[in-house]
Amino acid sequence: EAFSIIEEELGQPLEKVFSKISAETIAAASLGQVYRATLRSSGEDVAVK
């Protein structure tokens, strides 16, 4: 469900923005979850909240 919300916010499929995104969270809190991903455009590693 989290990935579909992220796609909705981005307005495009995750595969167009990220070359990789972790299936498991790297952190979680009451307000959200954090995933590790790599931007397709630059190869930069990012955290997706």
Ranges of each domain in the chain: 2-48
CA angle 13, 26, 20 (to 5 degrees): 35
Query: What ranges make up the beta strands (E) of the chain?
Result: 18-21, 27-29, 32-39, 45-48
The one-digit pLDDT tens for each residue of the chain (49 residues) are 899 999 999 999 999 999 999 999 999 988 889 999 999 999 999 999 9
Q: What is the pLDDT of residue 14?
A: 97
Q: What is the pLDDT of residue 25?
A: 94
Q: What is the pLDDT of residue 44?
A: 98
